[in-house]
Amino acid sequence: MTGVAVHLKGLRRSFGPTHALDNLDLAIEPGEFIALLGPSGCGKTTALRVLAGLEDADSGEVLVGGKDVSSLPANRRDMGMVFQAYSLFPHLTALANVSFGLSLRGRTKSLTRAREMLELVGIGQFADRYPHQLSGGQQQRVALARALAIEPSVLLLDEPLSALDAKVRVQLRDEIKRIQTEVGTTTLFVTHDQEEALAVADRVGVMRAGKLEQLAAPADIYLTPATPFVAEFVGLSNRLPGTVVGNEVEVLGTRLPMLSPASSPSVTALIRPESVQVTADPEGSGRVLTTSFLGAISKVTVSVGDELVVAQVATDRLASLAPGTPVRVTLQPNPVALA
Ligand code: ATP
């Protein structure tokens, strides 16, 4: 199985007055794992459904492996799909669910293939169980095995983890990444969960109102957001007042480079908690208000003048930062986004 390129070109799709897709362009490299991330209603699922052939676009093209598949029905697009809701046949075993779509291969070959797929997704031992005898995470593994069994040219995952509890979600997320890397199938993963998108994807496409706002590697999305929307949607930020000085912005006395030009001299800068350093200092202008233990890394909220600033600190430093402690607050000179 090797990946094919996917190109969504100028897709538009409206539902009454709603522009679910508004000239969406997205080019996926062969074998690439793309996550589409965005708030509810931004058009992620519609994009996936148009690619799958489950929904028609009003205009635009869908190219798979360089071929225009826009007019092909879903069952001729050669795509494997996993949805949020477990979509297994309840009266068939895990093995039968996976071999179901393989009947053209003959019975023995399809059963062998289905067993291999169940091994690949880590549940070979549950081949003979029925869906109601499997946990939610195991059922989604069967669904993934079934989607991959047909050797699809594209794998489509629509919020496949959102019905699972937190721990299983992380486990299966990491498994999906491992399996996708192993089989190399071009993959589009739709999620509203930023951590999930950043953790699995080669590139993350952040969508807003039917368009792609930014398409970039996870670290670039996080560290150099292209727009204020991306900066605010991905990760947590302090919103702090800044004054523009030349091509820098001064925030809490530190001058920082800006990711985009300012439109007025007074701006709101978005500062990541990990860019804020807090040091106990009797002469400091800040004061620790609260601390929250979060594991290896913890959170400290500091008041500086009228502002509240959240900083991320190594937990072993919490002892020196008890509430009431006077502190000096400095900012790392990372480029900042403006709200
Ligand atoms: P969510 O994360 O909530 O699933 P999404 O980003 O996947 O959201 P879509 O499901 O693609 O968003 O929907 C985009 C917009 O199109 C929304 O405003 C939605 O209400 C609208 N929409 C989608 N499908 C239909 C439909 N069949 N009929 C009417 N409106 C629709």
CA distances from 137 to 157, 199, 308 (A): 14, 18, 41
For tokens 């996976």, name the residue: 98
Give the pLDDT score at 107: 75
Which atom of ligand 1 is nearest the CA belonging to 43? 11
Task: Report domain extents, the chain.
Answer: 6-225, 236-338
Give distance in angstroms: CA of 6 to centre of ligand 1: 22
Q: For ligand 1, pick from 45, 50, 213, 233 the residue to mutate: most ligand atoms within 8 Å of CB.
A: 45
Measured from the CB, is residue 191 less than 6 Å from ligand 1? no
Strands (E) in the chain, as ranges, are 6-15, 18-28, 33-37, 59-64, 67-68, 79-82, 154-158, 186-191, 203-208, 211-216, 238-245, 248-251, 254-257, 266-271, 276-280, 286-292, 297-304, 307-314, 326-331, 337-338
Tens-digit pLDDT profile for residues 111-135: 999 999 999 999 999 999 999 999 9
Measured from the CB, is residue 192 less than 6 Å from ligand 1? yes
Measured from the CB, is residue 40 less than 6 Å from ligand 1? yes
Residue 81 has pLDDT above 70, yes or no: yes
Tens-digit pLDDT profile for residues 209-244: 999 999 999 999 998 899 889 988 998 889 999 999
264 exposure class (CB count in 10 Å sphere: 0-12, 13-18, 19+): exposed
Distance CA 208, CA 192 (A): 12
Pairing of the two strands 79-82 and 154-158: parallel
Q: How confident is the model at residue 85 (pLDDT cuts 50, 70, 90)?
A: confident
Which atom of ligand 1 is nearest the CA belonging to 21? 14
Which atom of ligand 1 is nearest the CA belonging to 42? 6
DSSP for residue 182: H
Check: CB of residue 97 under 8 Å from CB of residue 133.
Answer: no
Give distance in angstroms: CA of 20 to centre of ligand 1: 6
Q: How confident is the model at residue 163 (pLDDT cuts 50, 70, 90)?
A: confident
Distance CA 336, CA 87 (A): 44
Measured from the CB, is residue 20 less than 6 Å from ligand 1? yes
Residue 151 backbone class (left: φ over 0; alpha: ψ -120 to 50; beta: rest): left
Give the pLDDT score at 96: 94
- Among protein residues, the one with the nearest Cα to ligand 1's atom 30 is 15
Measured from the CB, is residue 41 less than 6 Å from ligand 1? yes
Q: For ligand 1, pick from 14, 15, 55 the residue to mutate: most ligand atoms within 8 Å of CB.
A: 15
**Average confidence score pLDDT of the chain:** 93
Check: CB of residue 198 under 8 Å from CB of residue 189.
Answer: no
Check: CB of residue 13 under 8 Å from CB of residue 49.
Answer: no
Interface predicted TM-score of the whole assembly (ipTM), two decimals: 0.94
Paired with 311 in beta bridges are 300
- Among protein residues, the one with the nearest Cα to ligand 1's atom 25 is 15
Measured from the CB, is residue 131 less than 6 Å from ligand 1? no
Residue 290 has pLDDT above 60, yes or no: yes
CATH code 2.60.120.200 for 236-338: no
Distance CA 319, CA 313 (A): 11
Measured from the CB, is residue 38 less than 6 Å from ligand 1? yes
Distance CA 219, CA 229 (A): 16
Which atom of ligand 1 is nearest the CA belonging to 192? 2
The CATH fold of domain 6-225: Rossmann fold (3.40.50)
Helix (H, G, I), strand (E, B) or coil at 98: helix
Measured from the CB, is residue 162 less than 6 Å from ligand 1? no
Residue 47's nearest CA partner among 185, 176, 208, 238 is 208
Check: CB of residue 117 under 8 Å from CB of residue 145.
Answer: yes
Give distance in angstroms: CA of 84 to centre of ligand 1: 15
Output the six-digit token pair for 308: 């509240």
Which pTM value belongs to this model?
0.88
Residue 281 backbone class (left: φ over 0; alpha: ψ -120 to 50; beta: rest): beta
Distance CA 48, CA 54 (A): 9
Count of beta carbons in the 10 Å neighbourhood of residue 36: 26
3 exposure class (CB count in 10 Å sphere: 0-12, 13-18, 19+): buried
Distance CA 316, CA 298 (A): 9
Give the pLDDT score at 339: 86
